[in-house]
Amino acid sequence: MVTDKTRGYQVFRVINTIILTLVVIVTLYPFANIVARSLSDEFAIRAGKVNLLPVGFTLRTYEYVASDPTFWMNYRNTVVYTVVATAIAMFMTTCYAYVLSKKHLKGRKFLIGIAVFTMFFSGGLIPNYILISSLGFKDSIWAIVLPNAISVFNLLVMKAFFEGLPAELEEAAAIDGMSTYGILIRIVLPLSKAVLATMVLFYAVSFWNSWFAAFLYMSQNDLFPVTVYLRNLIAGATTGTSVGADATDMTVATNIKSVTMVLTVIPILVVYPFVQRYFVKGVMLGAVKG
């Protein structure tokens, strides 16, 4: 490739490297900053000395947060909500995606349309709120795990995957007299481990991160997920600032905020390097049919 050796291109490559290095730094900087804050002495933070490295290293804030029973209770809630919601979502999505992947099925277009239409038009916040309230889901796990049991995007990804599976195996099993349920469980699902793993990850991350449903429908401390715990901390901290609360309290809140954020993000950061390629695959699958 002759053109690659031109001077202009060499200059471009240097600039490109610089830009992408900056992108990496800007992306990671806020994380480094909160980790440094979470490990720093409150006076150093208040003096504006903490940037990328902890100043006045201390683990006291971690001890403080870890000794709060509400924090652990809420953390446990997050785990429970995520597991239950993901299980339900996987069941519902798998069933429907499998049905939609059968091209011979009468009424298939209509069934797809029902799902896809909801991507572009939704009932909106108020009718949803009234619905969930009148179903008696307030202050219960159902308000979190049921209303988002099917993500249409995930549904289409899975459908595309099922459509790509070879039909012969299923046909042979059907000739042997296996029922549709049997085919789904014993033939299709074992062939779909990759997409199932991706879907579990998609759902688990979105439920782990969700906060608004819990914020909206739950009124008791002991039912909150950890994201709402964190939300109340940061909301409290800002109102504290605007009212002009006592400076020491404020910094303690800042400290605690950082620690809570680090603890909320850690599970995701730990699994992230191992699982991110599955996410990418999932998105690409979805892009095929989009």
Partner 1 sequence: MSTTKTIDVSPETGEPGRARPGPFRAKRPPGRTWRQALRRDWQLYSLAILPLLFFLVFRYLPMIGNVIAFRKFEPGGSVLGEEWVGLRYVRMFLNDPSFWKVFWNTVIIGGLTLLFCFPTPIVLALLINELRGRRIKRFVQSVSYLPHFLSMVVVAGLVMEMLSVDGPINQLLRAVGHDPIAFLQEPGWFRTIYVSSEVWQTVGWGTIIYLAALTTIDEQLYEAARIDGAGRWRQIWHVTLPGIRPTAITLLILNIGTFMAVGFEKILLLYNPLTYPTADVISTYLYRMGIVSNSFSYAAAIGLFEAVIGLALVMGANLISRRTVGTSLW
**Within positions 209 to 268, which residues make up the interface with partner 1, using CB under 8 A?**
209-212, 216, 227-228, 230-231, 234-235, 237-239, 241-242, 254, 257-258, 261, 264-265, 268
Report the site for partner 1 in 155-184 (rule: CB under 8 A). Answer: 179-181, 184
Q: How many residues does the chain have?
A: 290
Answer for the pair 262, 38: CB distance below 8 angstroms, yes or no.
yes
Cβ distance to partner 1 smaller for residue 47 or 169: 47
Cβ distance to partner 1 smaller for residue 72 or 117: 117
Give 180: exposed, middle or buried? Use CB within 10 Å, 0-12, 13-18, 19+. Answer: middle
Is 102 an interacting residue with respect to partner 1 (CB under 8 A)? yes
Return the residue of 145, 208, 224, 259 that touches partner 1, per CB under 8 A.
208
Going by C-alpha positions, the residue among 187, 193, 180, 192 that lies closest to residue 105 is: 180
Answer for the pair 155, 95: CB distance below 8 angstroms, yes or no.
no
Is 11 an interacting residue with respect to partner 1 (CB under 8 A)? no
Return the residue of 7, 67, 69, 121 that touches partner 1, per CB under 8 A.
121
Provide, rounded to whole angstroms, the least separation between the CB of residue 173 and partner 1: 13
**Structure token pair of residue 192:** 């779909």
User: Measured between alpha carbons, how far is 30 from 185 in angstroms, rounded to an integer?
Assistant: 45
Place of tokens 């159902």: 142
User: Measured between alpha carbons, how far is 266 from 38 in angstroms, rounded to an integer?
Assistant: 13
Return the range that interacts with partner 1 (CB under 8 A); candidates 9-17, 69-77, 159-167, 186-194.
9-17
Is 10 an interacting residue with respect to partner 1 (CB under 8 A)? no
Cβ distance to partner 1 smaller for residue 73 or 236: 236
User: Measured between alpha carbons, how far is 257 from 238 in angstroms, rounded to an integer?
Assistant: 11
Cα distances from 206 to residues 81, 129, 202, in angstroms, run: 11, 20, 6
Q: Which DSSP helix (H) or strand (E) runs through 75? A: helix 69-100
Return the residue of 106, 176, 177, 190 that touches partner 1, per CB under 8 A.
106
Report the site for partner 1 in 43-72 (rule: CB under 8 A). Answer: 45-48, 50-51
Is 186 an interacting residue with respect to partner 1 (CB under 8 A)? no
Is 278 an interacting residue with respect to partner 1 (CB under 8 A)? no
Return the range that interacts with partner 1 (CB under 8 A); candidates 6-14, 53-61, 79-87, 156-164.
6-14
